[in-house]
Homo-oligomer: A and B are copies of this chain.
Amino acid sequence: MVRLSALGYLKLTQTDKFDISYAGAEANVAVSLANYGMETDYITCLPENPIAERCIMDLRGHKVGVDHIQRSGKRMGILYLETGSNARSSKVYYDREDSSIATIQPGSINWEDILKDAGWFHWTGITPALSENAAAECLKAIKIANELGITVSCDINYRGNLWRYGKTAAEVMPEMVACSDIILGNEEDCEKVFGIKPQNFDVEKTNGVVDQSTFCSVCKQMMQKFPRCKKMVVTLRGAINANHNTWGGVLFDGQNLIESRRYDITDIVDRVGAGDSFMGGLIYGLLHYDNDKEALEFATAASCLKHTLKGDYNWVDIFEVESLMNGNFSGRVLR
């Protein structure tokens, strides 16, 4: 997907140029993993045109595997972004209908072949939102991953404006989530897709003051609903204003709720993609640390840093993330 952003804090109606970058929930996760030195492959459909060509160059430059990207369909999806400030929200406008991935031909991807040597399969709720075909193909991939014994992670990633093809997330998602081993959601996803929310919690009323422990019940309910799930993870964003958020996460392993450090993020540069950078950090963390606590802290620190970087990708390396995990958040100049 190409992301076209108004310059600086200009509204989309003000800007005379677009900053071009490339984005997509799954692509963002792949870039994070590649930055941490992991081998990744990004599977999608992109058309045969120079915008898609550049997207692929960009991903390849980041060391994301692009050999399995299918070139078909008519167009790339577009995300228009204007960045808000203070009380003015950032706004995202999608122009993704009839994109190549939405019009994917069933059976056109040889998942068995692609996944046969894979160790992890990650999908997000964006893909089934795009079209019936995309949902079906995604489900197919998940099932094959299950058969191959590959860990499956999902980010619920609910975007109400994307579900336009006649089915709702509530109809489509449960079967897919049920096949996933690791589930990530944010404070709204579980509620909007599965109707599961913390008791007595009102996100509108408690901006900036989210009590992590209230999410314990959400996690428990999710795991009851989706028994395959081994770890339920929730990112918690406290929105003080468009430039100032708090950020943290909780991980529930069926027994204990682990809470991450909570970061106070002022002077946000770009928060779009933060959830994906969390997921990228989490996958890396779960595979490389001895315990879930460190994995969660890696994910939270990585995604805290994402807020300081323009574009959807999280251009940080392990050194930077671990430095923050270890408490170095003073921002002193490194020379």
- Chain A residues 204-255 with CB under 8 Å of chain B are 204, 207-208, 239-244
Is there contact, CB below 8 Å, between B94 and A335? Answer: yes
CA–CA, A204 and B51, complex, Å: 29
Determine chain A's interface SS by DSSP, over half rule: loop
Number of copies: 6
Known contacts being A17-B20, A269-B85, is A91 close to B334, with CB within 8 Å?
yes
Using A9-B310, A98-B98, A266-B86 as known contacts, say yes or no to A50 and B334 having CB atoms under 8 A apart.
no
Please give, as numbers and ranges, the residues of chain B lying within 8 Å of A18 by CB-CB distance.
4, 17-18, 20
A93 touches B333 (CB 8 A): no
Interface string of A148-180 (1 = CB under 8 A from B): 000000000001110000000000000000000
Q: B241, B267, B331: which contacts A330 (Cβ < 8 A)?
A: B241
Nearest CB to that of A5 among chain B residues?
A: B17
Residues of B contacting A161 in the complex (Cβ-Cβ under 8 angstroms): 335
Give the docked Cα–Cα distance between A63 and B61 (Å). 8
Contact A333 B272 (CB under 8 A): yes
Give the docked Cα–Cα distance between A11 and B310 (Å).
9
Q: Is there an interface contact between A305 and B8, defined as CB atoms closer than 8 Å?
A: no
What chain B residues lie within 8 Å of A311 (beta carbons)?
14
Contacts of A9 in B (CB 8 A): 269, 308-310
Contact size range, A: 35 or more
A333, B267: Cβ atoms closer than 8 Å: no
- A20 lies within 8 A of B13 (CB): no
Is A143 engaged at the interface, CB distance under 8 Å to the other chain?
A: no
Query: Nearest CB to that of A88 among chain B residues?
Result: B308
Is A265 an interface residue, CB under 8 A from the partner? Answer: yes
Q: For residue A19, which residues in chain B have a CB less than 8 angstroms away from its CB?
A: 16-17
In the complex, the answer to whether B88 meets A12 with C-beta atoms within 8 Å is no
Q: Which residues on B sit within 8 Å (CB–CB) of A244? A: 266-267, 331
Q: Which of B61, B75, B85, B240 makes the CB contact (< 8 A) with A97?
A: B75
Of the candidates B60, B87, B207, B305, the one whose C-beta lies within 8 Å of that of A304 is B87
Given known contacts A93-B49, A98-B97, A54 and B88 CB-to-CB distance under 8 angstroms: no
* Chain B residues, CB < 8 A from A316: 88
Asked if B61 contacts A333 (CB within 8 A), the reply is no
User: Which residues of chain B have C-beta atoms less than 8 A from A53's C-beta?
Assistant: 12-13
Is A109 at the interface (CB under 8 A from chain B)?
no
Q: Does A324 interact with chain B (Cβ within 8 Å)?
A: yes
A122 at the interface (CB under 8 A from B): no
Q: Is A82 an interface residue (CB 8 A)?
A: yes
Given A61-B61, A86-B331, 14 other A-B contacts at CB below 8 A?
A9-B310, A11-B50, A12-B51, A12-B53, A14-B311, A49-B80, A57-B62, A60-B63, A85-B308, A88-B308, A89-B334, A241-B266, A241-B330, A243-B267
A-B pairs, 6 with minimum CB distance: A242-B331, A61-B61, A12-B50, A239-B330, A85-B308, A92-B335
